[in-house]
Chains A and B, each alone.
Chain A
Amino acid sequence: MTEPLKRPKRKDPLKRTQQPLYPQSVRSRTAHGLTKAAAEGRFELQTCDDCSTVFYPPRDACPNCLSDRVPFRPVDDNGKLIADTTIRTSTDPYFRERTPWRVGLTKLDAGPVILSHLHGDVLEGQRVRLALKLDKGGAPVMIALPEKDTPNMADDPHLREMTCDPKFRRVLITDGRTPVGQAMAKAFSDAGANIVFVGIADPWKPFPGQDELKKIERVEIVALDVTDSESVTEQAEQNGGRIDIVINTAEHIRAGGIMQRHGVTVAREEMDVRYFGLMRLAQAFGPAMRGRGADGVNSATAFVNLLSVHALMNWPQYGAYSAAEAASLSAAQCLRAELRSGGVRVMNVFFGPLDTEWFQTVPPPKVTPAALAKAVVQALQHGLEDVFVGDIAEDIRARLAANPKALERELAG
């Protein structure tokens, strides 16, 4: 049974902070099929379209019939752990620091035998579930999990290396003035975060939900305005060295396209919040987080961007908004590359229209702030990188994969 995680003690200020490392990995382009599945939290293996053979590791042709029609498809993740061994030495600096480290062979019911990391609660001969995760370096890896959830399962040190669980971590929610920011504060408090810093801009301006926000356990209101470089820098100077998860909830949502907007004042605000805001946060908080990627139980672990799914394809009804979201997404992809060397994950969470005042006239389905917050917490607990929340986001993702041009035309109405 997993030893429950203890609330980390205060750091010994005389001890050097452990520098982040990540496992060596060389992956082929084909193998990035696994990266995609792991990033989105699905268990997928190559499955031959001609003979139905499921195989692993990834390759360009079916080992059974040599067909090159071998796409990644969801497969049954159940199997049996047939062998179990413990690595005691390693030439890989990442594993050297973490030995002994158990690995094992699982025979999947779907066919292949797969070498994977092992959760502490699995034993040789038992039924297990294989999960695809991203390791600290963002590479896809397998871990064998107990067939049924066990107590404190998420606290397993090997699994926690592959997830961004908010438990005992210190979270910064960048904007608490919005329903989404407030839902996040509640969700992260409930998920066991040690402190939930909630940024408030223009504190002289009252906002709905203010009193309830202050009452949430372990919430600490801080001054933060993502449109003000000085404010972001000052907040990073105060708390940047102990923030493990950033949730960028700063939003700017206005209907309208490009041509009918009458000037660029609102568009500048959109870009200031969504693109420059992200850049300011990245510059102020990123370097310290990257340096703390291996800083014990409450290491820096994730930078979360909340993005309209229309960052992926413009929705002309909210066209200028979509464009700013696309800029934010592109910056987030850059930040992902920049934080990877510290083992800090950039998680992009895509959603359709929210059930908030700025989408008042948009018909359902809409994503409630509470549902979005719950999805973000779960995605961090699972260690995902790309998350699609709600029917619209899922639908756009599927249509984008099938035919982007058709999607563009259809969104144009």
Chain B
Amino acid sequence: MVSNPASDLLGFARRVASGSIKVVDLTQTLTQEFPTIVLPPEFGQAAPFRLEEISRYDERGPAWYWNNFTVSEHAGTHFDAPIHWISGKDLPNNAVDTIDPRKFIAPANVVDCSAESAANADFELTVPFLEAWEKEHGRIGAGEWVLLRTDWSKKPYSEYAGMRDDGAHTPGPVPEAVKWLVEERDVHGFGTETIGTDHGQGHHFNPPFPAHFYMHGKGRFGLQCLTNLDQLPPKGAVIFSAPLKIKQGSGSPLRVLALVEAA
């Protein structure tokens, strides 16, 4: 049967409604308490999420409830655009408002490092680890996300942030692995459950913060503070991740949804 593209789309909508395509929310709730990235205090700081009531059925507005919120582009579950990093600053269409919206929908490879990360908060994602993963699950395709499942999102905040007197201790990729994903696999972007896409000690790598440096340098994207990655298959999920259309925005908090074939 020759399929009609229009009916495919409507069929997709029907399958979402019926639950035969499952929608997994990969988003953390935006709350005041959720840890944000910490830079040394003499640097500018990313504002955490804050909420101020405008009115709540009271003298400020008798029949309605609404809030003002403030938040940095890089707090909570958020998207990193290439313009976020100096290596991506001169690329075309590198900000959240100019990225081709088609790029907000892409398949995902979910690399499970939860056991390794549980055993070692400083777990480093390497090329051999990724190659071994491909042997089991298949090759990482061009234009696909690589999402690092560490189960970090399940930790209490103090362990989640992993702050010690020598910096953060959270898992992440070594420079070679990011370079390999970009150059050898032509991936769409890199996503994590941790506060950043980079390893907690990533500032000691060469180059520092390789996930930012290589991904954004080649116009790829980042997703961080994801959750529910344990509900995704290694391959086959489709990620919907459209950031707010902020003029020349470097990123944005967003709702990240994964579409998964129901078992």
Chain A residues within CB distance 8 Å of chain B = 202-206, 225, 227-231, 254, 263, 265-266, 269
Q: Is B38 an interface residue (CB 8 A)?
A: yes
Residues of B within 8 A of A231 (CB): 32-33
Q: Is B164 an interface residue (CB 8 A)?
A: yes
Residues of B within 8 A of A265 (CB): 44-45, 47
Q: Is B143 an interface residue (CB 8 A)?
A: no
> Given the interface contacts A225-B32, A231-B32, A265-B44, does A206 sit within 8 Å of B50 by beta carbon?
no
User: Which of B154-162, B197-205, B227-235 interfaces with chain A?
Assistant: B154-162
Q: Choose among B50, B157, B160 the residue with the greatest number of A CB atoms under 10 Å from its CB.
A: B50
Chain A residue nearest to B164 in the complex (CB):
A206
**New A-B contacts (19) at CB < 8 Å, excluding given A204-B158, A204-B161, A225-B32:** A202-B35, A203-B157, A203-B158, A204-B156, A204-B157, A204-B160, A205-B35, A205-B163, A227-B50, A228-B32, A228-B48, A228-B50, A229-B53, A230-B32, A231-B32, A231-B33, A254-B42, A265-B44, A265-B47
Residues of A within 8 A of B52 (CB): 229
Residues of B within 8 A of A228 (CB): 32, 48, 50
Q: Is B165 an interface residue (CB 8 A)?
A: yes
Size range of the chain B interface in the assembly: 20 to 34
Q: Are B51 and A230 in contact (CB under 8 A)?
A: yes
Chain B residues within CB distance 8 Å of chain A = 32-33, 35, 38, 42, 44-45, 47-48, 50-53, 156-158, 160-161, 163-165
Q: How far is the CA of A320 from the CA of B161 in the complex (A)?
A: 31
Q: How far is the CA of A228 from the CA of B164 in the complex (A)?
A: 24
Q: How far is the CA of A254 from the CA of B40 in the complex (A)?
A: 13
Nearest 5 pairs of A and B residues by beta carbon:
A204-B157, A204-B158, A204-B161, A228-B32, A204-B35
- Report the minimum CB–CB distance from B228 to chain A (whole Å): 21
Chain B residue nearest to A280 in the complex (CB):
B52
Chain B residue nearest to A207 in the complex (CB):
B163
Q: How far is the CA of A68 from the CA of B180 in the complex (A)?
A: 89
Residues of A within 8 A of B165 (CB): 206
Chain B residue nearest to A266 in the complex (CB):
B44
Chain A residue nearest to B161 in the complex (CB):
A204
Chain B residue nearest to A230 in the complex (CB):
B32
Q: How far is the CA of A202 from the CA of B36 in the complex (A)?
A: 10
Residues of B within 8 A of A204 (CB): 35, 156-158, 160-161, 163
Q: How many A-B residue pairs have CB under 8 A?
A: 38
> Given the interface contacts A225-B32, A229-B52, does A205 sit within 8 Å of B45 by beta carbon?
no
What secondary structure prevails in chain A residues at the interface with B?
Answer: loop
Residues of A within 8 A of B161 (CB): 204-205
Residues of A within 8 A of B45 (CB): 265, 269
Name 30 A/B residue pairs within 8 A (Cβ), A-sorted: A202-B35, A203-B157, A203-B158, A204-B35, A204-B156, A204-B161, A204-B163, A205-B35, A205-B161, A205-B163, A206-B158, A206-B163, A206-B164, A206-B165, A228-B32, A228-B48, A229-B50, A229-B51, A229-B52, A229-B53, A230-B51, A231-B32, A231-B33, A254-B42, A263-B44, A265-B44, A265-B45, A265-B47, A266-B44, A269-B45
Q: Are A205 and B32 in contact (CB under 8 A)?
A: no
Q: How far is the CA of A263 from the CA of B44 in the complex (A)?
A: 10
Q: Choose among A202, A203, A254, A265 the residue with the greatest number of B CB atoms under 10 Å from its CB.
A: A202
Q: How far is the CA of A227 from the CA of B160 in the complex (A)?
A: 22
Q: How far is the CA of A311 from the CA of B32 in the complex (A)?
A: 30
Q: How far is the CA of A290 from the CA of B160 in the complex (A)?
A: 41
Residues of B within 8 A of A254 (CB): 42
Q: How far is the CA of A266 from the CA of B46 in the complex (A)?
A: 10
Chain A residue nearest to B50 in the complex (CB):
A228
Residues of A within 8 A of B51 (CB): 229-230
Residues of A within 8 A of B33 (CB): 231
Q: How far is the CA of A206 from the CA of B160 in the complex (A)?
A: 13
Q: Choose among A230, A266, A269 the residue with the greatest number of B CB atoms under 10 Å from its CB.
A: A230
Residues of B within 8 A of A230 (CB): 32, 51
Residues of B within 8 A of A225 (CB): 32
Q: How far is the CA of A228 from the CA of B30 in the complex (A)?
A: 13
